Structure 1
Amino acid sequence: MTTLPQAPEIPGAKHLHSGKVRDLYELESGDLLMVATDRMSAFDWVLESVIPDKGKVLTAMSLWWFEQLDVPNHIISTDVPAEVAGRAVVCEKLAIYPVECVARGYLSGTGLVDYNATGAVCGIPLPGGLVEGSRFDAPIFTPATKAELGEHDENVSYDVVVATVGADTAAVLRDTTLEIYTTARAMAEERGIILADTKFEFGARADGTLVLADEVLTPDSSRFWPADQWAPGKQQPSYDKQIVRDWLQFESGWDRTSGEAPPPLTDEVVERTRSSYIAAYEQLTGRKFEG
């Protein structure tokens, strides 16, 4: 069972909730303070090891993408308490939709597992003969349930989303997800990076406005591959947490079906992961990561 460390006290902020990576607080103003920690999750576990500077990279990258995208977002301010400077944002309270909005342009991860078993992903039939890393003719919307801490997100069909949020909202979530993915993929490709897939979280304001929330297009929520090394049919090199997943699955000796917690990461895996996250930020944004 995953156990999170106690969230630190922040003056003027009331701790509300901790997820796998983020701690959420309510400020005296009634707005939310969202703090990205250095925690790393994999296979529905929060690992004992942390990745130095990870929270700052995630925050800086999300803020950069929010600047680029012509979509309403939840950011109010980056003026945050000194204790969490560089890794936190002040954001709106929203009614969050209970759906992970996933867009895929390439076959990998759980999409590949689904495809190999059924020839489809989330009920969407795909051509035969696809392999790890194959590019789709057009991106697809492959939603998932939002699991509680320690539980598994489950890929679901579009019909399940319709049943959960209604037909009109489901269509808006799908279309907006694919529009953002298409825009971001083109921007990433210009910078030598393939955005293989990503997931978004949306909420609604009191007036019904759809708002992009949480993190966006980070190495935690996306698969980023170096474009010059893309080779369908094998595991792709990546700028994301795949380094950690691969080490746990193939090198650590850990049995993910055992129910036992994963072992601590080696120093080498920690540093490679940190360097990978920073490289993704710097290549996408053109900015130097200051730490």
Structure 2
Amino acid sequence: MSDNDVSGTGSEATTGFSSGEELSLRGWDHAYSGKVRDLYVPAGESLATTPRILVVASDRVSAFDHVLEPGIPGKGALLTRLSLWWFDQLDVPNHLVPDDLRPEAIPEAVADRAMLVANLDMFPVECVVRAYLSGSGWLEYQESQSVCGIALPVGLRDGDKLPEPIYTPAWKAPFGEHDENITFERTVELVGLEVATKLRDLSLSIFTDAAAIAAQRGVILADTKFEFGADRETGVITLADEVLTSDSSRYWDAEAYAAGTTPATKMLSFDKQIVRNWLSTNWNKQGTPPVLPADIVAQTSARYRELIERMLGK
């Protein structure tokens, strides 16, 4: 999902990212950095074989496949908190290592922005579900009246609600390349029919449950992306990476939407749409992105925090 791009875990082990934050964590070795998260393994172990990974969320923010400067203060802790909350709400296997099975402790220095997770065999597919037309889906619709091979009604506008949620997967491109929206048939070629079908059905089911939870809090879950991997011991398809955060999802204020506010405007979204909007106006997507102004950073941070308050009631 190129417009909600976030880094995965196990599927990224073949490439590195130069702007990673290599912390000195006792008992852990830095193994890999993605656009937003940094991976650590128990000292002396390798990312390929270790059963446990420490995923540390940074304050870095990415948009249009670029990591931007500066980061969003407190973002890593906020998104980790939201992910942990969502994992607890969803009745689906996830990659968190249960407290009673933890052989390692999470270092205090990153305790508020780290998750200890099982090392999975990740599928090279971002499982995107859309209930509303926006982002890269809107761009594709304007060209073909469809998204990822799914025909949609004529005359839809940016931000319109779809007749029903649709599964619009994306291929996870190697680092340095753009993720690519693909058809369900292409996912079958990548992972086989049985797995492709399970990924689709799981994604739609999780999305439906999550959207209902968000609606109870006055929030619209417009779209999101999930990532899954296979448990290395059981083969069970397992929800991984972050889940339903402000970086991997579009959240809109339900009251503002009902009032007719354009969903693309920065005042409606509880996510990084503010950053995207500013970049779209101030950058031609060539070369190095400009530095984010202080007010854009502050507005983004405030929207992230407001979503936490709405969802968690705190």
TM-score by length of 1: 0.93
Aligned match for 1:235, one of 248, 252, 264: 264
In structure 1, the partner of 2:24 is 9
The equivalent residue for 1:35 is: 56
User: Would you say 1:49 and 2:76 are equivalent positions?
Assistant: no
2:264 aligned partner, one-letter code: Q
SS class of match (1:49): coil
Q: 2:295 & 2:134 partners in 1: Cα distance?
A: 25
Give the C-alpha shift of residue 233 in structure 1: 6.0
Q: For 1:1-291, what aligned pairs fall within 5 Å after superposition?
A: 3-28=18-43, 30-76=51-97, 79-205=105-231, 206-230=233-257, 231=260, 235-236=264-265, 237-250=268-281, 253-256=282-285, 258=286, 260-287=287-314
Instruction: Between 187-196 and 26-35, report the one with greater CA deviation.
Output: 26-35
In structure 2, give the amino acid aligned to 1:52: P
- 1:153-191 deviation line (CA, Å, top 9, x unaligned): 110000000000000000000000000000000110110
Deviations 1:202-256 (A, max 9, x none): 0111211111000000000000000011137662520101000101111xx3221
> Does the CA contact (< 8 Å) of 2:123 and 2:191 recur in 1?
yes
* Aligned mates of 2:262, 2:143 — CA distance in 1: 17
Matched-pair contact (CA < 8 Å) for 1:134–1:233: no
The number of aligned residues is 282
> Any idea what the Cα deviations from partners look like across 1:30-73, whole Å, max 9, x if unmatched?
41100000000011000121100000011000000001000010
Instruction: State the alpha-carbon separation in 2 of the partners of residues 132 and 168 from structure 1.
Output: 34
Partner Cα distance (1:149, 1:240) in 2: 23
Residues 279 and 6 (structure 1 numbering): CA distance in 2 closer, same or farther, change over 3 Å?
closer
**Consecutive unaligned residues in structure 1, runs of 5 or more:** none
**Quick one: structure 1 residues 122 and 108, their matched pair in 2 at CA, closer, same or farther if it must change by over 3 Å?**
same
Instruction: Name 2:9's counterpart in structure 1.
Output: none
Q: 2: CA distance between counterparts of 1:242 and 1:190?
A: 22
Query: Which deviates the most, 26-35 or 211-220?
Result: 26-35
Asked if structure 2 preserves the Cα contact closer than 8 Å seen for 1:134 and 1:232, the reply is: no
Question: After the TM superposition, which of the residue ranges 83-92 and 225-234 deviates more from structure 2?
Answer: 225-234
Alpha-carbon distance, 1:150 to partner? 3.2
Amino acid at match of 2:180: E
Query: Could you tell me whether the CA contact under 8 Å between 2:20 and 2:33 is conserved in 1?
Result: no
Asked if structure 1 preserves the Cα contact closer than 8 Å seen for 2:21 and 2:38, the reply is: no
What is the Cα deviation at residue 136 of structure 1? 1.1
Residues in 2 aligned to 1:156 and 1:117: alpha-carbon distance in whole angstroms: 15
Question: What SS does the corresponding residue of 2:180 show, helix, strand or coil?
Answer: coil
Root-mean-square deviation over aligned CA pairs? 1.5
Assess if the C-alpha contact under 8 Å between 1:73 and 1:211 holds in 2.
yes
Contact 2:87/2:243, CA 8 A, preserved across alignment:
yes
